[in-house]
Structure 1
Amino acid sequence: MLLSVLCGWLLNGAARAQVPYNVIDWKAPTTLNTYLIQQLHQQSDQRRAAFAAALKSGAAMQAYQDTVRARYRRLLGPLPARTPLKAHVGGKIERAGYLVEKIIYESTPRHHVTANLYVPKGKGKWPAVLLFCGHEATAKATESYQKTAILFAQNGFVVLVIDPISQGERYQLTDATGKPLTRGGTTEHTLLNGGAALVGTSVPAAQLWDNVRGLDYLLTRREVDPDRIGCIGNSGGATQTAYFIGYDPRVKVAALCSYVASGERNLELTGPADGCVQIPGAGQAGLDIAEWPIMFAPKPLLLLAGRYDFIDYASIQTAYHELKQVYTELEKPSRVNLFTYDDGHGISKPKREVAVAWFRRWLRDDGQLVPENNLATLSAEQLNCTATGQVNTAFPKESTLSEQYLGQAQELASRRQPLTYASLTAAIRHVLALPEATVIVPPVEASAEGSVQAKGIAMRKLLLRRAGQPPLPALLALPPNNLPPARSLSGYPTKARLHLLIAPIWLPNI
């Protein structure tokens, strides 16, 4: 018996010439996405219920924070060991009232991080701020980030501005001349995160570790007061900041600018972001992007928003409302605030002024307003820490993330034991998040949706349905005069049923 099951998702997405083969009579490409969004809302409903229960008392909220932190740490997986930073200053630039130093350190052996350190002139211990950059290719040299750092330095803060992975001087996938091989940093993030996921980690975890080691370096500086540490970031840098303040207790004050405040809403509106934003498994762990600022409470936290940002402003308002409830339960309602300006994406002058004033309030104990005057910035070349402009060409033995992930994969392969059929299927179920074999699932029903002829072969159009799962279109090809009724799966011979159900991996336990 000739039996062939062709997955309808592919057929329905093919050219219009193949319309006769279509099984579904609606816009099929939306089906899977709609199903996933429904799953997303179910996960988020569970998260909302847990959060609502935590709002009943301060003790309940603290317990909620503890469980969120524990889930976050499990999600990150094991982080690298602290190894020697081997930090050095590659040069200094004298500016009016402050210095800019060119810093290079190793977050892991032979994996170099480039950064600029802004140091106020004068003596004494200064409060310090980590500034995490958004997705601009120029990273630490971006004009708005330079101006943010300068304004902080003018107000008595040491500032470390770090080049993120795949930006500035830290592209990981380059040719021999240092030219990036991808169309941009976000594409590189996504490619790297694909490799990271295969060995049980993520690009957000790698960025987090770069930033943790950046704070380690900052605390080696004699100019820095270790008890007065802040953190601020814009856009993708705000995501880095959120992940950082949820992990590192040394941070005392923080600000998030143009922050994607709701993972649920963002996935619904625009789909998944690039690989440095979302940690695989967060939804399954019951964690939304709103969770990380909640972990930071009741330390002082400022949200900076543009009313006309492409980032959903309603999500920012919702996140602020949740945070206000959290801080109120923890008896510190004045420590969280939202500043909105009538502009778009980014950390503009009004936002910079409010941010620096916020840090002055909590780290310098004054409420002084902070006006920003004309600030002169430097070129990316002037701020470069490496001689070549890229770590891949400046350090011949640079350990890129892709090389690290390959090494981890090879090490895992060397320890992998042969799997039995049972252990292999269990592992596949776990990795694909399929129901366990012991879970009782509803039966699959196959409805007939007509037939089509192709080169003398009659193919039955089938639509496989199971309650709670998306319908699966398929074609069943049999020898001539051998088309059984298709009201249910029981209408097919046993062998046909077996082969019919091998292909759709999201219909297990049949």
Structure 2
Amino acid sequence: MWKADSWLDQLYENALMKHRENAQSELPERRKEKLKQALGECVGEFEPNAGYTPILLERVECDDYIRERVELSATPGLSFAAYVLLPKEAKGALPGVLALHGHGYGSREIVGLLPDGSPDTNVPGIHQHFAVQLVKRGMAVIAPDVAGFGERKLEADLTLNPHAPNSCYRLSTQLMMLGKTLTGLRAWEARGALDYLASRPEVDEARVGAMGFSGGALIAYVAAVMDERIKAEVLCGFPNTFKDSIFAVHHCIDNYTPGLLLHAELPELIGLIAPRPLFLESGTNDPIFPVQGFNRAVRELQVIYEREGAKDKLQTDLFQGAHEISGRTAYDWLKHVLS
């Protein structure tokens, strides 16, 4: 057999069979712990930077919220910027949200700014300025710049192409050669941003959630599995199966984690968040996270949440749209469960 199509399919089916065998032979809690450990090992570990002091870069008064920009660091030798949005009229400690953007020009794309930092007065793109939508609902929001996008593109890539869309390929391949992954770095830095958000006097650290879109949802689910301070989560434009999405459609290399499918398919990995509240959102015409994969993931997650006795904590919204955020239900759901 010269072509490997059916051979790859068989490898996938063999992996699923192994997952089922393991699930049947292990107690559910034991399997959850093993999968959590496996996920951590697959994405790689990073050294903490406990001695770093955050730096305030700017503070801007907007109509009904304050926008700050801070410099943070989660691992030695590497820093990143994050926007913090705070409602002006809030009283008492606020619920907090870690907002994670997907492919695009960085955190500015979700806080209502253009790539140069000026206000974006145009119709919002696929990210829908979702961090602004959250702060307008009375939540404190932190939106970190994800490694490889916007101002965090590598100089090596910009030297070759000043308009390089991102640095995902170079970061992913070099980290994999070092036994780490870009997902692992991004999730580690997201947790560092969470550290800072939880330390703010305006925020109730017991009521912190996360919302991610596309690649940001990948980061959000990994961070939530690893960090139970995230009490509720919204995943947009991402929930699916590996088989229907990254195996069937050409994706950025940052979606692939070596060895991960040996342990579980994506719905079971997302299900490690259970029984914490989880909202899944997807467009009916999303070309890279197709609707059939979304529906399969939802069915599997419904079984997981029912087994956990938390059926009512899983909510979904399949809206008429493409690869984009809707938020028509998700924003208010997140505000409700964190309140």
TM-score (norm: length of structure 2): 0.88
Structure 2 counterpart of 1:264, from 238, 243, 247 = 243
Q: Where do 1:48-63 residues align within 5 Å?
A: 48-51=20-23, 53=24, 60-63=27-30
CA offsets, 1:397-453, max 9 Å, x none? xxxxxxxxxxxxxxxxxxxxxxxxxxxxxxxxxxxxxxxxxxxxxxxxxxxxxxxxx
- Aligned partner of 1:274: which letter? C
1:157 to 130, 139, 146: 139
How far does residue 49 in structure 1 lie from its aligned partner after superposition? 4.2
Residue by residue over 1:197-237, the C-alpha shift from the partner in whole angstroms, topping out at 9 and shown as x without a partner, is 22211111111111111111112211010000000111111
How large is the RMSD of aligned CA atoms in angstroms? 2.2
Query: Which residue pairs with 2:40 in the alignment?
Result: 73
Which one-letter code corresponds to 1:104 in the other structure?
E
Contact 1:204 / 1:240 at 8 angstroms: preserved in 2? yes
| Contact 2:82-2:107 at 8 Å conserved across structures | no
Q: Provide TM-score, normalisation by structure 1.
A: 0.60
Structure 2 residue ranges without an equivalent (≥5): 111-123
Structure-2 separation of matches of 1:138 and 1:222: 26
Structure 2 counterpart of 1:113, which letter? Answer: F
What is the CA–CA distance in structure 1 between the aligned matches of 2:159 and 2:208, rounded to whole Å? 34
Identify the residue that residue 330 of structure 1 maps to in structure 2: 308
More deviation, 139-148/152-161: 139-148
User: Which of 62, 81, 85 in structure 2 is aligned with 1:95?
Assistant: 62
Q: 1:97-136 to 2 correspondence within 5 Å?
A: 97-122=64-89, 123-136=91-104
Equivalent-residue separation in structure 2 for 1:263 and 1:294 (angstroms): 14
Q: Secondary structure at the match of 2:254?
A: coil
| Partner in structure 2 of residue 487 of structure 1 | none
Unaligned runs of 5+ in 1: 1-23, 365-510
Compared with structure 1, are the counterparts of its residues 293 and 80 closer, same or farther at alpha carbon in structure 2 (3 Å cutoff)? same
Task: Write the deviation string for residues 318-375 of structure 1: whole angstroms up to 9, x where unpaired.
Answer: 111111111111111100011111111111xxx32311111122111xxxxxxxxxxx
Q: Report whether the alignment pairs 1:360 with 2:338.
A: no
When residues 178 and 103 of structure 1 are mapped into structure 2, their CA distance, relative to the original with a 3 A threshold, is farther
> Where does residue 275 of structure 2 map in the other structure?
298
Provide the residue aligned with 1:251 in structure 2.
Answer: 230
**How far apart are residue 138 of structure 1 and its match?**
4.2
3-state DSSP class of the match of 1:328?
helix
TM-superposed deviation, 1:72: 1.4
Distance in 1 (alpha carbons) for counterparts of 2:256 and 2:201: 36
Instruction: Verify: 1:173 aligned to 2:155, yes or no.
Output: yes
Contact 1:85 1:217 in 2 (8 A): no
Moved over 6 A (4+): none
Note closer, same or farther for the CA distance 1:267–1:124 as it changes in structure 2 (3 Å cut): closer
Distance in 2 between residues matched to 1:315 and 1:354, nearest whole Å? 21
* Structure 1 Cα separation of the partners of residues 296 and 280 of structure 2: 12
Structure showing greater radius of gyration is 1
CA 1:289–1:190: 2 relative to 1, 3 Å: farther
Deviation at 1:139, TM superposition (A): 4.0
Q: Number of residues paired by the alignment?
A: 323
Choose the corresponding residue for 2:321, options 338, 343, 348.
343
Q: How much has 1:181 moved relative to structure 2? A: 5.9
1:47 aligns with 2:28: no
**Alpha-carbon distance in 1 for matches of 2:108, 2:19:** 36
